[in-house]
Structure 1
């Protein structure tokens, strides 16, 4: 019988690319990961890994085993969900991840509702950039996550994860009031402006660059800021322009104009494949959807 923990390490190596990254994700030493993968190779009797220079890559047999591993892990998640559903009441720790604007707007009310209706749940929140969500769910550092992409930068499917839609938001160009936006395309009008971008490597940074490149120019980055409120304050101070989704716009400072774009941010509730019927996961989904429905009633323009 193949060891599930070793299979999970092989799967994570396929996704993360290096033994060092797998070790960090699981808080193991690199040596311990290598030893477990070597033991898995001995169990299977075939080569699962090969060395390419200083890197370790999966052989065709290794990739085939990873594909089966996803099915095995999903079945285990479904089995755990079935057992949890047979218990009376909900208990245990649920680790939720969310991006900053969701932590500020949607998550507090959802946590209150979850805690009120399920006092046995121990709810733990981690603020996380969407690009880090898949790894955090796969390696079990999170159980449920608010996970978004943009229509201009769609998230690739992940065989280890499932998700349900939650929210679709309009995106705006936040600009000083003095910006001449007579152009039908606000981004094109900001071609020669300084830009306030997210940290390179974050989804927000990628989106801004992609939106500008679609208009035939690269944004001239003056500042790198990941907090939307801080970015809007810099816009008000005449430090540049930035992109902001509706949830991140809040109450913009005076002298800041929000110019609507055709771009949208799409938020989903993500969890490991097979875990959707777990009562605690289902409770999180229901609470978040209820909060979004109330937000939409109060702010109909959330859905553009």
Structure 2
């Protein structure tokens, strides 16, 4: 019988890429991880790992075993959820992650509701980029997290995670008051300087792709990973930028917000099999209630679980 803890290490090596990263995620030493993976290979009786230069990679058999490991780990997660429901009551620690622009608008009212309705829960919040969510959920540093993508830059689903839709929101083109809206707002700013997220972020990618769809490549003047900073730079005449609805409740004077057809889509993510855990279910209820109270936001879809996670950084 294969050891589940070793299967988890193999699965994490497949996702994280290096033994050092797996060791850091589990607070092990790299040598301890190597020893456990070697033991798993002996248990399996076939080669699961091979060297590629100075790195260790998975063989095709190792990758196939990872796919089975995902199923096993999801089943164990579901079993834990069943036991938690049978014990009754809601208590213990719930670790919730959210991208920065959701913490104030979505997460705070949800925390208040959870604390009021389930006072025995110990709630812990972490602000992080969606790109970090899959690893944080797999490593059990988070139990529930908010992730997002854009309809024009969809993110590939993560096989280790399930999710439910939360909300869709409008993306705005933020311009200075001296610019006037047109029937084609993106093309009207093709010659403008742009304020975009750092390279590698989803916000950076969506700006470039939106420009390409409008027939131009944005001229990047500033990088800012805080939407408040983007709006402040726009107000100061430093360029234009894209901002989602959650970030524009109090725009500075001198900024005109032009709604675009682009939509940002937020989902509630958790480990596969964990959706039936009472604490996860209560968190989903609280987050959806908070989203329903947001002016202008549109609750997305139904609560039918679907595999999803983030693959690029966002705000």
- CA drift at 1:302: 4.5
Measure the CA separation in 2 of the matches of 1:82 and 1:72: 15
Aligned to 2:52: 52
Question: Aligned with 1:149: secondary structure?
Answer: strand
1:121-200 equivalences in 2 (<5 Å):
121-182=121-182, 184-200=183-199
Measure the CA separation in 2 of the matches of 1:100 and 1:233: 17
Q: Is the 8 A contact 1:170 1:303 kept in 2?
A: no
Number of corresponding residues: 300
Aligned to 1:300: 296
Question: Aligned with 1:106: secondary structure?
Answer: helix
1:65-103 Cα deviation digits (max 9, x unpaired): 101101100000001001100113111111100011110
- CA drift at 1:301: 5.5
- CA drift at 1:180: 4.5
Aligned to 1:28: 28
- CA drift at 1:214: 2.2
Aligned to 1:109: 109
Aligned to 2:279: 280
- Residues 93-102 or 51-60, more deviating: 51-60
1:254-285 Cα deviation digits (max 9, x unpaired): 11111111110000100000000000000000
Question: Aligned with 1:124: secondary structure?
Answer: strand
| Aligned-residue CA RMSD (Å) | 1.5
Q: Is the 8 A contact 2:170 2:259 kept in 1?
A: yes
Which segments of 5 or more consecutive residues in structure 1 lack a partner in the other structure?
A: none
Question: Aligned with 1:31: secondary structure?
Answer: helix
- Residues 199-208 or 164-173, more deviating: 199-208
- CA drift at 1:181: 3.8
Matched, 1:13 2:17: no
Measure the CA separation in 1 of the matches of 2:111 and 2:195: 32
Measure the CA separation in 1 of the matches of 2:230 and 2:193: 12
Aligned to 1:245: 244
1:215-245 Cα deviation digits (max 9, x unpaired): 2332222221111112101110011111011
- CA drift at 1:64: 1.1
Aligned to 1:291: 290
Q: Is the 8 A contact 1:129 1:203 kept in 2?
A: no
Measure the CA separation in 2 of the matches of 1:18 and 1:185: 47
Aligned to 2:311: none
Matched, 1:63 2:66: no
Measure the CA separation in 2 of the matches of 1:219 and 1:62: 43
Provide TM-score, normalisation by structure 1: 0.95
Provide TM-score, normalisation by structure 2: 0.91
Q: Is the 8 A contact 2:163 2:269 kept in 1?
A: yes
- Residues 29-38 or 96-105, more deviating: 29-38
1:75-114 equivalences in 2 (<5 Å):
75-114=75-114
Query: Relative contact order: is structure 1 or structure 2 higher (C-alpha 8 Å, sep ≥ 6)?
Result: 2
1:83-140 Cα deviation digits (max 9, x unpaired): 1001131111111000111101011110011011111111110111112111111121
Measure the CA separation in 2 of the matches of 1:43 and 1:135: 26
- CA drift at 1:211: 1.3
Aligned to 1:226: 225
